[in-house]
Amino acid sequence: MGEFELIRRYFAAAACARAGGEMLLGIGDDCALLSLPAAEQLVVSTDTLVAGVHFPEPCDGFLLGQRALAVSVSDLAAMGATPIAFTLALTLPAAEPAWLEAFARGLDVMAAACSIRLAGGDTTRGPLSLTLTVLGRVPAGQALTRAGARPGDLLCVGGTLGEAAGALPLVLGQAQAPETTALELLARYWSPQPQLALGQALRGRASAVLDISDGLLADCGHIAEASGVALLVERDAVPLCAALVEWLGPARALECALAGGDDYRLAFTLPPADLAPLREALWPITVIGRVEAGSGVHVLDACGQRLAVARRGYNHFASD
Ligand code: ADP
Ligand code: MG
C-alpha cells in the first residue's frame, strides 16, 4: 500500500474527514479551506506524541487514536474554544492495515465526541509519532488564558484527579488491579474527555484557565507565573475518585492527583461571586484552594500550614 492509498483508505474516507461546518475543503488538495464566523478568533495548538515517551509501543491503534485527539482538543477546552478542525502528521514504521483501521476508528470516535473535523495532514515513514494541530474558534476577546488570576479568586478543578497517573503502571504492564478498578482508571488514561462545554461555560467568568496535563501542582505553577500570584492548594479538598483511593490508599492517590500527569481536567481561578451561578448550572466544579498575592504554588494541610512537596509534575527536560 502506497502513501496515497493509505491516506485515501484510512483518513480521507473517515467520517471525521467529511467537509461541513466551517470546513469548506478537507483532505485531498494542497491545503484545507476553513471559514471563521465574523467576530470570532482562531485558536491554535499543536501536540506531538512519541512512542515510548507519551505512550507504550506496541500500542492499540484504536486507543491511541482516541487519546491523541483528546489530548490535543483538551487545549481548546482550556481556552474556552469551540473545535473546528485538526491536522494529523503521522510518522509510521510500517503501513499495517489492521492497526491503521483501528487508529482511524479511534480518531473518528473522539472526533465525533468533540465535534471536530480532520482537515489534512502528512504521512511519513519512521519511528511511530504523531503531531496533531487543533483549530478552534472563540468570540473575539473572550479566550481564556492563564494570565488573569487575581488575589481573592477561588482555585477550582473540573473533576477528580490522579486516575490517569494511577493507571500508568497498568498501561505499562508493571502492576495489576482488580478488574473494575483497572477499567475505570484505564478509561481515564486512554480516553480522557476534553472539558469543552465547561471551558465554554467559563468564558466571561474564570480569570485564568488551563488543562492539567503535567500534574496539578506543576500546571498551577503556570497560572501562578503567568498571573503573577500565589496559588494555595488545600490538600484535603483535592477531589479523588473512590476506586483510586481504595486501590492505592489515600496517600498515594493524593500524590497521583497532585503530581501525576495526564488528567486533562480544567484547573481555573474564579471570582467567588461566579461560583454559585456555575454550580446552579450543574457544572462539576470543586474548589481546591485560593489565589493570594505572592508567587508559586503551595499545598496547605488541614490546619492551613504549608507542606513541603517533593514531586510536582512531569518535565521532559528536567535535570533531576
Ligand atoms: P503535499 O505533498 O501537497 O503536502 P501530501 O501528499 O502530503 O500533500 O498529502 C495529500 C493530501 O492528504 C493533503 O490534503 C494532506 O492534507 C492529506 N494528508 C496526508 N497525510 C494525512 C494524514 N495522516 N491524515 C490526514 N490527511 C492527510
Ligand atoms: Mg505533505
How many angstroms separate the alpha carbon of residue 137 from the centre of ligand 1? 23
My answer on whether 103 and 169 are in the same domain is no
Q: Are strands 296-300 and 306-307 parallel, antiparallel or unpaired?
A: antiparallel
My answer on whether 161 and 253 are in the same domain is yes
Last residue of a domain, which of 113, 139, 165?
139
My answer on whether 213 and 108 are in the same domain is no
**For ligand 1, which residues put their CB under 6 angstroms from it?**
7, 11, 27-30, 88, 90, 118, 120-123
My answer on whether 184 and 214 are in the same domain is yes
Q: Which of 122, 125, 130, 133 to mutate to test the pocket of ligand 1 (most atoms within 8 A of CB)?
A: 122
My answer on whether 37 and 100 are in the same domain is yes
Last residue of a domain, which of 82, 114, 139?
139
My answer on whether 133 and 158 are in the same domain is no
pLDDT tens-digit map of 98-141: 999 999 999 999 999 999 999 999 999 999 999 999 999 999 99
How many angstroms separate the alpha carbon of residue 28 from the centre of ligand 1? 7
Residue 26 CA: which ligand 1 atom is closest? 14
Tell me how far apart the alpha carbons of residues 191 and 230 are, in angstroms, rounded to a whole number: 32
My answer on whether 200 and 233 are in the same domain is yes
pLDDT tens-digit map of 162-174: 999 999 999 999 9
Structural domain contains residue 317 = no
Last residue of a domain, which of 71, 106, 139?
139
How many angstroms separate the alpha carbon of residue 120 from the centre of ligand 2? 9
How many angstroms separate the alpha carbon of residue 17 from the centre of ligand 2? 16
Structural domain contains residue 315 = no
Q: Which of 6, 27, 86, 129 to mutate to test the pocket of ligand 1 (most atoms within 8 A of CB)?
A: 27
Tell me how far apart the alpha carbons of residues 291 and 269 are, in angstroms, rounded to a whole number: 8
Q: Which of 4, 7, 69 to mutate to test the pocket of ligand 1 (most atoms within 8 A of CB)?
A: 7
My answer on whether 82 and 163 are in the same domain is no
My answer on whether 122 and 201 are in the same domain is no
pLDDT tens digits in sequence order for the chain, 320 residues long? 889 999 999 999 999 999 999 999 999 999 999 999 999 999 999 999 999 999 999 999 999 999 999 999 999 999 999 999 999 999 999 999 999 999 999 999 999 999 999 999 999 999 999 999 999 999 999 999 999 999 999 999 999 999 999 999 999 999 999 999 999 999 999 999 999 999 999 999 999 999 999 999 999 999 999 999 999 999 999 999 999 999 999 999 999 999 999 999 999 999 999 999 999 999 999 999 999 999 999 999 999 999 987 767 666 665 44
Range of the domain at 238: 154-307
How many angstroms separate the alpha carbon of residue 5 from the centre of ligand 1? 11
How many angstroms separate the alpha carbon of residue 2 from the centre of ligand 2? 14
On whether the CB atoms of residues 77 and 266 are closer than 8 A, the answer is yes
Q: What is the CATH number of the domain that holds 295?
A: 3.90.650.10
My answer on whether 132 and 29 are in the same domain is yes
Burial class (CB in 10 A: 0-12, 13-18, 19+), 94: exposed
pTM: 0.95
Structural domain contains residue 117 = yes
- Number of domains, the chain: 2
3-state SS, one letter per residue, for the chain: CCHHHHHHHHHHCCHHHCCECCEEECECECCCEECCCCCEEEEEEEEEEEECCCECCCCCHHHHHHHHHHHHHHHHHHCCCEEEEEEEEEEECCCCHHHHHHHHHHHHHHHHHHCCEEEEEEEEECCCEEEEEEEEEEECCCCCCCCCCCCCCEEEECCCCCHHHHHHHHHCCCCCCCHHHHHHHHHHHHCCCCCHHHHHHCCCCCCEEEECCCCHHHHHHHHHHHHCCEEEEEHHHCCCCHHHHHHHCHHHHHHHHHHCCCCCCEEEEECHHHHHHHHHCCCCCEEEEEEECCCEEEEECCCCCEECCCCCCCCCCCCC
Structural domain contains residue 121 = yes
For ligand 1, atom 13, which residue shows the shortest CA distance?
A: 28
Burial class (CB in 10 A: 0-12, 13-18, 19+), 234: middle
pLDDT of residue 1: 82
Q: What is the CATH number of the domain that holds 7?
A: 3.30.1330.10
Structural domain contains residue 313 = no
For ligand 1, atom 16, which residue shows the shortest CA distance?
A: 120
Residue 3 CA: which ligand 1 atom is closest? 6
pLDDT of residue 320: 42
My answer on whether 55 and 179 are in the same domain is no
pLDDT of residue 317: 61
How many angstroms separate the alpha carbon of residue 83 from the centre of ligand 1? 21
My answer on whether 202 and 64 are in the same domain is no
Structural domain contains residue 146 = no
For ligand 1, atom 19, which residue shows the shortest CA distance?
A: 122
71 — alpha (psi -120 to 50), left (phi > 0) or beta? alpha
Structural domain contains residue 314 = no
Structural domain contains residue 148 = no
